[in-house]
């Protein structure tokens, strides 16, 4: 089977495609698909990442989306991440969900208390010998 990929801008409803010359007279399938701008592909990829699966059904749906993207050359830049995500199980995503929730709570509570961290560090240094014994 011969495959020819032609990337061109359509300027007419009767395009002239000299690359197809060797196939004239043969049975072929012609598929025309509009290329989505790279920004749209990127937005779709990261929008999917925002939604962490929380059930086997949502995980199965995510895997289906990732498998489609894995076969779509427009998503080639994301194939390494896609391959990685296809191997992750529901426990993996539950851990990420817990981490996102912890970060959300930190933001709502005013963030990190750097003074308390500094004071704890100073205390630990002052009492390091006590713990070594």
pLDDT tens across 70-92, in order? 998 889 999 999 999 999 999 99
Handedness of CA 20, 38, 83, 46 (dihedral sign): negative
In a domain, 93, yes or no: yes
Query: What pLDDT score does 73 carry?
Result: 87
In a domain, residue 18? The reply is no
Q: Is there a domain that residue 123 lies in?
A: yes
What is the per-residue DSSP string for 2-37?
----------SSS---GGGGGGTTS-------PPPP
Structurally, how many domains does the chain consist of?
1
Q: Is residue 77 included in any domain, yes or no?
A: yes
Residue 5, pLDDT > 60, answer yes
Which structural domain, as residue segments, surrounds residue 125? 37-132
Indicate whether 21 belongs to any domain.
no
């Amino acid at each position: 089977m011969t495959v020819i990929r032609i990337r061109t801008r359509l300027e007419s409803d009767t395009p002239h495609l000299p690359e197809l010359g060797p196939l004239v007279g043969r049975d072929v399938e012609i598929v025309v698909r509009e290329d989505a701008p790279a920004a749209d592909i990127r937005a779709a990829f990261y929008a999917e990442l925002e939604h962490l699966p929380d059930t086997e059904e949502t995980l199965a749906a995510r895997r289906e989306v990732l498998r489609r993207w894995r076969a779509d050359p427009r998503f080639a830049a994301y194939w390494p991440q896609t391959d990685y995500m296809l191997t992750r199980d529901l426990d993996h995503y539950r851990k990420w969900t817990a981490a996102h929730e912890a970060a959300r709570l930190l933001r709502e509570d005013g963030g990190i208390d750097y003074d308390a961290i500094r004071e704890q560090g100073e205390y630990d240094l002052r009492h390091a010998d006590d713990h070594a014994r």
